[in-house]
Amino acid sequence: MITRLKEFIQGFLSRSGSSVFAAMLSARVLAFVASWVALQLVNEKDLGLVLYAYSFFVFLIPIGGFGLNQSYIRFAALSKDENIKNNLFIYTFKNGLIVALFFTSILIFVSYWTFQNDAKLQHYFMILSFSLISFYCIDLIKNYFRVFHKNNLYAWLEITYNIVLVLMVALLGYRFHAVGYSIAVAISPLIASLFFLPMVQLKLKNYSKPDNTSLDFWKYGFFAGLAGVATQLLFAIDMILLGNMLKQPEIVTHYKYVSLIPFSLLFLPSMFITADFVKLTEEIDQKHKIQHYIKNYWTLFSLVSFGVLVLAFIFPKLVLSIFMKNLEQYVLTFRILMVGVIGVLMFRGIFGNLLASIGKSHINFWIAVATLLVNFVFNYLLIPKYGINGAAMTSAVVMWVSGILSYILFSKYQRELE
């Protein structure tokens, strides 16, 4: 076990994994700072309108450029030719940007009809529409760095974006309040991207359309984007249904904070996969290497899962009291969610990404849709009877079901590659 653990961590660190970890951790801290600054500079009502408008874009961002940024990282990783990787970036940037501009135009047009009775909300929505373009650009540049095994640049771009966000929220929020905050959210990714664009070393004169931009290229990105949309909705649906069914806003607040630690743990598998996805895609047809990686991953996350159980069953009141004293009544809710998280740590976190690496992004989408339906059904059955614990039980079931489905389907498709 010690040998596997050491090998896995050393491999992660050799691919600038420590930079990825620092970037993800700092992103969470700086995002909190940006939210706190906004709360100080913008009145609660207007801030609520901005956050309500932005809630639509949280779901749309993964599909903003038709998901082509996801296509790029997989198809570029499969190519051994550096010139093809560069040409594929140019093709993806150009076509994805056109799609993002098209979607932005549609959203601005739709806002005239949807929010015609609320001029402020309409204004914020129109400004935030440009975030589709900004996030597409920054995500594609991040993936470029990952494709060329420059995870340190990926990490610095992530950190720079969050620093720019805090500064823009402070400057524009102070001067223009809610409008300034909306502008800061919409353009900060683009500003950070411009700082790093010179590091994207492209040979524009030698550009020719890559051969691997067939229907499969577009289809992969589309389904990867849709899977991202469905996954984002999956984590929001509990609070939406709790609020609608129980009609007690304080319960929604309590659930948000009780679930904060469990859901925050989900960045751990994401951190490793961010650093390793390109390598896994490059070696996806070498079954022994993939199986070796899975065994090493399981060795580490078995220990992590044990730590999760220790927190859940020995120190739950201590953890919950960090946020507020009255959360200690939700020990059972916390334990249920922590047990559910293990399903993601052990299965969904790795096998969902391995499905993407073998080109089965549409399978991830259908898994997300299936678990979304399970989420709706179980919540409607369990919330009226068990309240907040019903929502927690639903989340736990969904996390385990999606994880086991990912494992079964990846194993099936990997056998077909032999």
DSSP code per residue over 70-108: HHHHHHHHH---HHHHHHHHHHHHHHHHHHHHHHHHHHH
Token pair listed for 98? 């056109």
Rounded CA gap, 385 and 398, in Å?
A: 18
Residue 418: band (very low, low, confident or very high) from pLDDT cuts 50, 70, 90: low
Rounded Cα gap, residues 150 and 278, in angstroms: 11
The residues near 404 (Cβ < 8 Å, ≥ 6 apart) are 343, 347
- Give dist(CA 272, CA 13) in Å, integer: 10
Highest-confidence segment of 140-144, 236-240, 265-269: 140-144
CA distance 275 to 272: 5
Total residue length of the chain: 418
Which residues have C-beta within 8 Å of that of residue 176, sequence separation ≥ 6?
A: 183
Q: Return the amino acid letter for 291.
A: Q
* Whole-angstrom distance, CA of residue 35 vs CA of residue 44: 12
Among the listed residues 186, 76, 75, the one whose alpha carbon sits nearest the alpha carbon of residue 128: 186
pLDDT surpassing 90 at residue 140: yes
**If you compute the radius of gyration of the chain from its CA atoms, what whole number of angstroms results?**
22
- In tens, the pLDDT along 350-378 reads 998 888 888 788 888 888 888 888 888 99
Task: Quote the tokens at residue 174.
Answer: 């102070």
**Strand (E) or helix (H) holding 314:** none
C-alpha span between 33 and 50 (Å, rounded): 17
DSSP category for residue 206: G
The pLDDT of residue 47: 74
Confidence (pLDDT) at 212: 63
The residue-averaged pLDDT of 168-174 equals: 91
Report the C-alpha gap between 185 and 189 in whole angstroms: 8
**For position 302, what pLDDT does the model report?**
92
In single-letter form, the type of residue at position 198 comes to P
C-alpha span between 367 and 227 (Å, rounded): 8
- How many DSSP H helices and E strands does the chain contain? 18, 0
Lookup result for tokens 């389904």: 223
Written as one string, the DSSP assignment of 5-18 is HHHHHHHHHHTTHH
DSSP string, 159-225: HHHHHHHHHHHHHHHHHHHHHHHHHHHHHHHHHHHHHHGGGS---GGG----TT-SHHHHHHHHHHH
Whether 188 contacts 168, CB under 8 Å: yes
Q: Are 365 and 307 in contact (CB under 8 A)?
A: no
Give me the chain's average pLDDT, please: 84
Residue 270 is predicted with a pLDDT of: 83
Give the residue carrying structure tokens 């966000």. Answer: 165
Q: Closest Cα to residue 318, out of 250, 261, 254, 263? A: 261
pLDDT range class, residue 323, cuts 50, 70, 90:
low
Q: Worst-scoring range by mean pLDDT, 61-65, 139-143, 253-257?
A: 253-257
Residue 84's pLDDT band, with cuts at 50, 70 and 90, is: confident
Going from N- to C-terminal start, the domains of the chain cover 18-206, 235-417
- Residue 285: is its pLDDT beyond 80? no
**What pLDDT does residue 156 have?**
92
pLDDT digits (tens, 9 = 90+) for 186-245: 999 999 999 998 888 777 777 777 776 677 888 888 888 888 877 777 767 776 677 667
CA proximity to 15, closest of 343, 279, 243, 211: 279
Instruction: Answer whether 374's CB lies under 8 Å from 335's CB.
Output: no
130, pLDDT greater than 70: yes
In the predicted model, is pLDDT for residue 102 greater than 90? yes
Q: 118: which DSSP letter?
A: -
Residue 3's pLDDT is 75
Give the per-residue pLDDT at 218: 87
Choice between 302 and 58, residue whose per-residue pLDDT is larger: 302
Lowest average pLDDT, out of 41-50, 103-112, 181-190, 338-347, goes to 41-50
Q: Give the model's pLDDT for residue 80.
A: 80
Q: What are 76's two structure tokens?
A: 């570029």
pLDDT at 248: 65
pLDDT at 101: 93
Is residue 417 scored above 70 in pLDDT? no
Cα 5 from Cα 302, distance rounded (Å): 11
On the 0-12 / 13-18 / 19+ scale of CB atoms within 10 A, 377 is: exposed
